[in-house]
Amino acid sequence: MATLPVPETRPMLTLPGDPVRQILWRFADRFDLQMLVASSRGVARGTVARLVAAGERNTHEWTPAKNQMLQAFDQAGITAAFMEPAEGGFIVGPKNLALSLAAFELAWVDGGAATASLAGFLALAPIHERGTPQQVQRYKSLSAPPAPGEDRTPWRGAFALTEPIPYVGVDTGMLSGKVRVAEWNDGSEPWLQVDKRGRFITGIAFADFVTAAVVSDDDRIKGSCVVILEKSDEGTFDRGTPTKKLVHQLSSTGDPVFNLKVPASRIVGGYTVEGGVIVPNFNHGEIIEAVFRRTRVPVGLMTAAKLLSAVEPVIRYQRQRFRGAEGAKPGSIRYEQGIQQREDALHRLVDVWATGEAAASLGFAAARLFDALDPLEKQKNAILKERGIEGPRAEVKALRETEQHAVEMLSLAGDHPRFAERRTELLADPLIHFVLADAEANVLCPATKLWNTGHGANMLREAVSLMGGYGITEDCPGFLANKWMDAQLEATYEGPEAVQRRQLTVTMTGPVFLALFRVWARDMRRIASAHPGTGACTLASAMNLWLWSINYLKSATDPAGNKLYHGQRQGVTFPLADALCWLLASRAQILDVLELESSGASDSLAAEDLPATVEFLSDLCHTQAAQAAGEASRICAELVFGYNHHPRWDEKEHRRCFLSAEIEELEETMPGISAMALDVLASDGTHPQKAGPCAGCAGSDEFLRLQSKLTTCLTGSRLAKDRAAETVSKVTIPEALDYPAAGPA
């Protein structure tokens, strides 16, 4: 078993700064992204922080002051980050990481501000993902901020899927919004009548256009689609009343009503006419899937930002808590350390910090993956089109063989030259790269949204609690109570946790993902031998336990003979999805720290305090890995054992069985042990039979072996937490927060 090396470095001096973050999250070579981070930070800690401090969150109305924030986004280049250079943007290539970084910076101060910027992108996303070239050109260039010298107010958009109860919410298929043919003269383009009510629609107070999901109410239109509505279209464009939100008040939300006549060219992605029927090229489900796949990642990163943003204000509060009191003179422990004298206060802050690091690592890994996936997806589409394969079903069928190749490729681990040759051969197929990235993205996206926001909200409560009563006041430095409440919205919109768990239920059991996960588990074991201080050992064991459990549960049944792993059986599938997310977040965190360790030395700024920073971040990894392993172990044990009836075992027989294993081990490890000693142990009278385990132990051996390995691999995790706590009590922080806490701007 790995033992933790005794640290030789002194504790980390300051909080990890930008050079460290750029390496961890892999944008050290992207000057464009570094500039975007700097300008987003300026808006967040300037305009946005002043709005919050001035009490702008206390009204549901869209105020002129809130509107200024949108202009600040435009001026800082945040709005243009979504656009291609030809549309008024400045970032070339995929923009998932860019948008995630901007959202992260804004959410560091206020989640609503981040949402206000993201919602505009969400409105454009259906057009960006599936729109016709004309639609893309029109709406993206109208939404781009004016170029220097141009006198134009940029358009803003809103995305309208959710409808008043009892229609669309988690279940996106239950559409009540309708589309009919309004006019269709021979040879000319049809006109549509769109009747849509929205619920909780972000950005509606100022939207110039809306992308709305509707279903056909006319025999001359097939299925469903997303249509683009403009505020000047003929009919009703009623923005509705503002939602009385308790959270994210810097974004606008309301329940609009639309009844508008629009040309059929507003159907996102276009349409064909077949036998006198308008057939949209994409139904609303296909468009929503393409959109949410990417947009959910920045939301997860918003909660990560808030967790990390809590660290500095909590440290400051803890240290300064007793200053000024009698008996707390400068130099005294009470003056210098304040609440940080107390182990629990430090340990809990370490937990918040470790969660924030893991959440950020997971989210940024997902964002980068989507950047890699975007060109692969385009290439895949081109190849399949060339082969005459079109439509989602034909595509799934066509990629099945590639999936088998991907699984084969992943199973050919090891250095045998024959393996390497076959691997190279398989990897020569561009489709295999798409299939691998796609399988991973289909898991990482819902995992980021689910774990970061759901568990993140729980941990923000912890952060709030560390500030005592101050934590639940408006004056709390870092706006922690706002951030805690806001996290609940992040866990809800763009699909609450149930939606993410439902998606994971399907994607995490795909053969390619499982093969990938097996490779990751092996890699983690390898990492453990070189970097035991990261907690990779316990994580690898937990990954193996999860793999064993999912395999077992996929074929196991309950006492009534019903399958355990089944879409309807959310009591099994959902907790397994949760367990996986813990493991994925911990893995991403460890991989980031390894990257820092290997690349940091060549970066003059990051290299400054590198060994100590790596040591500290590794301790956070270890702390997090131990917790992740514990969660996975608890969940898997409950599922593997919990669906059996408690065996009505014979206590005497069970004891004999238990002793049998114990004695067998004794005989093996102590061959010289006397028969008499064995007899004393087997004091039930009869010498144990080696007839296999009794009903109480049956079937559990392998699980218990893996679980016990996991437990013993926890070695050193609490030492790591102690060390991290020690650093937290010593690390230097700035004199004051770099954004206002409360009071008039």
Ligand X SMILES: Cc1cc2nc3c(=O)[nH]c(=O)nc-3n(C[C@H](O)[C@H](O)[C@H](O)COP(=O)(O)OP(=O)(O)OC[C@H]3O[C@@H](n4cnc5c(N)ncnc54)[C@H](O)[C@@H]3O)c2cc1C
Q: Which residue from 23, 161, 481, 543 is in contact with ligand X, where contact means CB under 6 A?
A: 161
Q: How far is the CB of 127 from ligand X (least distance, A)?
A: 15
Q: Is 140 among the residues that bind ligand X (CB under 6 A)?
A: no
Interface with ligand X by CB under 6 A: which range of 74-82, 157-165, 700-708, 719-727? 157-165
Interface with ligand X by CB under 6 A: which range of 100-108, 156-164, 403-411, 511-519? 156-164
Interface with ligand X by CB under 6 A: which range of 196-204, 311-319, 376-384, 679-687? 196-204
Q: Which residue from 253, 283, 295, 624 is in contact with ligand X, where contact means CB under 6 A?
A: 253
**Which residue is associated with the tokens 């949209």?**
280
When the beta carbons of 365 and 460 are compared against ligand X, the nearer one is 460
Q: How many residues bind ligand X (CB under 6 A)?
A: 21
Interface with ligand X by CB under 6 A: which range of 490-498, 579-587, 593-601, 643-651? 490-498
Q: Which residue from 200, 517, 643, 739 is in contact with ligand X, where contact means CB under 6 A?
A: 200
When the beta carbons of 161 and 515 are compared against ligand X, the nearer one is 161
Q: What's the one-letter identity of residue 491?
A: A
DSSP letter at 332 equals: S
Cα separation, 644 vs 92, in Å, equals 56
Q: How far is the CB of 305 from ligand X (least distance, A)?
A: 18
Cα separation, 545 vs 335, in Å, equals 47
**Which residue is associated with the tokens 């239920």?**
505
Using the Cα atoms of residue 261, residue 266, residue 268 and residue 270 in order, give the sign of their dihedral.
positive
When the beta carbons of 492 and 544 are compared against ligand X, the nearer one is 492
Interface with ligand X by CB under 6 A: which range of 40-48, 83-91, 158-166, 456-464? 158-166
Which of 627, 705, 670 has the alpha carbon at shortest distance from 462? 627
Q: How far is the CB of 247 from ligand X (least distance, A)?
A: 7
Q: Which residues contact 518 (CB under 8 A, 6 or more apart)?
A: 410, 547
Q: Is 453 among the residues that bind ligand X (CB under 6 A)?
A: no
When the beta carbons of 30 and 60 are compared against ligand X, the nearer one is 60
Secondary structure (DSSP) of 514-579: HHHHHHHHHHHHHHHHH-GGGTHHHHHHHHHHHHHHHHHHHH-B-TTS-BSS-TT-HHHHHHHHHH
Q: How far is the CB of 300 from ligand X (least distance, A)?
A: 15
Q: Is 119 among the residues that bind ligand X (CB under 6 A)?
A: yes
Number of H helices, E strands in the chain: 25, 11
When the beta carbons of 162 and 707 are compared against ligand X, the nearer one is 162
Contact pattern for ligand X over residues 492 through 531, marking x by CB under 6 A: xxxxx-x---------------------------------
Residue 440 burial (C-beta neighbours within 10 Å; 0-12, 13-18, 19+) = buried
Q: Considering only residues 536 through 575, tell me which ones interact with ligand X, judged by CB under 6 A.
A: 570
Secondary structure (DSSP) of 386-403: HTT--SHHHHHHHHHHHH
Interface with ligand X by CB under 6 A: which range of 11-19, 216-224, 395-403, 485-493? 485-493
Contact pattern for ligand X over residues 355 through 394, marking x by CB under 6 A: ----------------------------------------
Q: How far is the CB of 144 from ligand X (least distance, A)?
A: 21
Q: How far is the CB of 502 from ligand X (least distance, A)?
A: 6
> Hey, how many other C-beta atoms are within 10 angstroms of the C-beta on 454?
23
- The two beta strands, 191-197 and 257-263, are antiparallel
Interface with ligand X by CB under 6 A: which range of 153-161, 214-222, 444-452, 592-600? 153-161
Q: How far is the CB of 491 from ligand X (least distance, A)?
A: 9
Q: Which residue from 194, 228, 359, 489 is in contact with ligand X, where contact means CB under 6 A?
A: 489
Q: How far is the CB of 396 from ligand X (least distance, A)?
A: 23
Task: Give phi and psi for 299, each to the nearest 5.
Answer: -65, -45
When the beta carbons of 82 and 434 are compared against ligand X, the nearer one is 82
Buried b (16+ CB within 10 A) or exposed e, 254-282: bbbebbbebbbbbbbbbbeeeeeebbbeb
Cα separation, 661 vs 697, in Å, equals 11
Cα separation, 89 vs 77, in Å, equals 8
Task: Give phi and psi for 557, each to the nearest 5.
Answer: -125, 165
Q: How far is the CB of 618 from ligand X (least distance, A)?
A: 36
With CB atoms as reference, the residue minimizing the distance to ligand X is 169
Q: Considering only residues 231 through 250, tell me which ones interact with ligand X, judged by CB under 6 A.
A: 245, 248
Residue 460 burial (C-beta neighbours within 10 Å; 0-12, 13-18, 19+) = buried
When the beta carbons of 120 and 145 are compared against ligand X, the nearer one is 120
Cα separation, 505 vs 217, in Å, equals 33
Q: How far is the CB of 220 from ligand X (least distance, A)?
A: 27
Q: How far is the CB of 289 from ligand X (least distance, A)?
A: 14
- Structure-block tokens of residue 678: 């064995």
Cα separation, 143 vs 157, in Å, equals 8
Interface with ligand X by CB under 6 A: which range of 63-71, 197-205, 341-349, 657-665? 197-205
Cα separation, 352 vs 700, in Å, equals 35
Q: Which residue from 1, 13, 38, 170 is in contact with ligand X, where contact means CB under 6 A?
A: 170
CB 168 within 8 A of CB 175: yes
Q: Return the SS3 of 169.
A: coil
CB 448 within 8 A of CB 304: no
Q: Is 159 among the residues that bind ligand X (CB under 6 A)?
A: yes
Q: How far is the CB of 577 from ligand X (least distance, A)?
A: 12
When the beta carbons of 496 and 630 are compared against ligand X, the nearer one is 496
Q: How far is the CB of 171 from ligand X (least distance, A)?
A: 6
Q: How far is the CB of 114 from ligand X (least distance, A)?
A: 13
**Which residues lie near ligand X (CB under 6 A)?**
119, 159-162, 169-170, 200-202, 245, 248, 253, 489, 492-496, 498, 570
